[in-house]
């Protein structure tokens, strides 16, 4: 009987030993702690934001763009008294000077100046203000002494000026009349309008040219401002003459 008890004890002892060994194998096969995987996408603390920075992507301070230089004055006006001096100054500035006299009796400047013959609607040389040209202090005609052919012919003169300026980037057009306060400024603005139509987006090239003093010519510029071609400008001048002159 003692032998049987011993045998039973031995059996119990052996069984527990096998179970412990089996449990030990299971425990070694399972992870003892939950693996922690570092993540750069998670905040380090609750409520903390993760900010990614890259020095290469930092916005560079934008350099201020220099303001564009004003466009050169390519159309100017002159009275009979000052036309020679103005042309001389332009030549010293290395400009190719082109003179468009609205009165063929005005004094002709010296030097290398291209003088253009310009004609009115009846194909007659312009001779505006010749009767009163000796009065250099003011315009006794006040811009009113214009015939139909002279006023309508201004569109053709403006087109001729634009062609010269387009063909030569160094060209400067000088428009002259005896006083330089009404007729020449009016033609200068007509040329500016046609130039801006031909060269879309161009800035003003008339510089400091003042608008004509004559009220009729000032009002005419508002209507002519809608012209999109030399032909339309000519038609507008015809209508202006019928209504105002």
How far, CA to CA in Å, does 128 sit from each of 66, 83, 140, 211? 45, 16, 12, 18
Residue 96 phi/psi, 5° resolution?
A: -90, 105
Helix or strand (DSSP H, E) at 242: helix 230-244
Nearest alpha carbon to residue 153 among 14, 161, 99: 161
Pick left, alpha or beta for residue 88 (phi over 0 → left; psi -120 to 50 → alpha; otherwise beta): alpha
Which three-class secondary structure state does DSSP give residue 6? helix
Nearest alpha carbon to residue 126 among 149, 109, 159: 149
Which three-class secondary structure state does DSSP give residue 77? strand
pLDDT on residue 49: 54
pLDDT tens sequence across 212-242: 999 999 999 998 988 899 999 999 999 999 9
pLDDT on residue 13: 46
Low-confidence ranges of the chain (pLDDT < 70): 1-72, 136, 201-203, 208
Residue 33 phi/psi, 5° resolution?
A: -130, 155
pLDDT on residue 3: 46
Give the class (CATH, top level) of 75-244: alpha beta
pLDDT on residue 107: 87
Total-model pTM? 0.70
């Amino acid at each position: 009987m003692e032998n049987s008890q011993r045998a039973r004890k031995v059996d119990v002892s052996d069984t527990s030993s096998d179970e412990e060994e089996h449990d030990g194998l299971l425990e070694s096969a399972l992870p003892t702690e939950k693996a922690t995987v570092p993540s750069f996408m998670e905040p380090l603390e609750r409520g903390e934001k993760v900010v990614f920075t890259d020095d290469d992507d930092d916005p560079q301070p934008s350099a201020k763009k220099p303001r564009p230089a004003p466009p050169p004055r390519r159309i100017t006006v002159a009275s009979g008294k000052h036309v020679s001096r103005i042309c001389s100054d332009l030549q010293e500035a290395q400009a190719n000077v082109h003179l468009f006299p609205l009165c063929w009796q005005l004094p002709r400047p010296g030097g290398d100046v291209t003088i253009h013959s310009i004609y009115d609607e009846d194909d007659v040389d312009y001779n505006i203000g010749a009767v009163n040209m000796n009065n250099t202090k003011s315009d006794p005609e006040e811009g009113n002494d214009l015939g139909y052919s002279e006023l309508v012919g201004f569109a053709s003169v403006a087109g001729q000026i634009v062609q010269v300026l387009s063909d030569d980037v160094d060209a400067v057009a000088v428009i002259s009349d005896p006083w330089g306060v009404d007729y020449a400024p009016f033609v200068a603005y007509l040329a500016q309008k046609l130039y801006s139509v031909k060269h879309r987006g161009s800035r003003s090239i008339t510089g400091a040219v003042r608008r004509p003093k004559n009220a009729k010519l000032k009002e005419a510029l508002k209507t002519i401002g809608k012209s999109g071609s030399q032909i339309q400008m000519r038609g507008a001048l015809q209508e202006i003459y019928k209504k105002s002159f």
